[in-house]
Structure 1
């Protein structure tokens, strides 16, 4: 749903006539929540994606959603296990960012972006146990992103 811009962000809900608080719950910067902001203009989500990329040895400037997806799609065509791991991390990061948004909006529960980043790293290691091709790369990622 995220790749197709079909998440029920507050700007979409408002366009359907619903009365909702449109401000981003993640960064509290007074910016309206929309798909483009959540992924990856928001400081909360940018922190997560940047830390994860750096942890995986990729130093690049974070771009807008469309460019990040296109960049990753090109890399995923490679047979390299590293890029498949980056694709996995991307999907899990998007899930966690959306989950955090929902937890804050509906349950008033907040987790820091650093905690979410560590959780994503842990999920990579758990998933990697069943991926023989990921083993060597996972050995080099034997710490949490910091």
Structure 2
């Protein structure tokens, strides 16, 4: 059985999370506004476009002592895959922090 954190990360990486723009396309909701900043919620916006959540990412990266300015989702996914691919403990810790941050953003949003 998949752990919820890893499953949310897998869904995010494959563009399968039920973000508000997707739910609206399926006719399930009318409101597409982000609960954090009230702009249109998309996959990219939820994780890297929202100013409130970008501050969260910057604080996590600063805590890890990683110098990086989060960009758009299509740029961040390759960066995460390349950066988290190392064998040293710092890379494993970064991978864990990315997984946990994405899970808690999604959990808080819901």
Shorter-chain TM-score bucket reads: 0.7 to 0.9
- The gaps in structure 2 that reach 5 residues or longer are 1-10
Select 1:43's aligned residue among 36, 51, 54: 51
Select 2:109's aligned residue among 81, 96, 101: 101
Cα-Cα RMSD: 1.1
Q: Distance in 2 between matches of 1:96 and 1:68?
A: 18
Which position in structure 2 is the counterpart of 1:52? 60
TM-score (norm 1): 0.65
Which position in structure 2 is the counterpart of 1:8? 18
1:68 aligns with 2:76: yes
Q: Please report how far the alpha carbon of residue 89 of structure 1 lies from its aligned counterpart in structure 2 after TM superposition.
A: 0.4
Moved over 4 A (4+): none
Higher Cα Rg: structure 1 or 2? 1
CA displacement 1:30-60 (0-9 Å, x = unmatched): x111101001110122111110101111122
Look up the SS of the partner of 1:78 in the other structure. Answer: coil
Residue correspondences, number: 100
Q: After the TM superposition, which of the residue ranges 3-12 and 68-77 deviates more from structure 2?
A: 68-77
- The gaps in structure 1 that reach 5 residues or longer are 103-146
TM-score (norm 2): 0.85
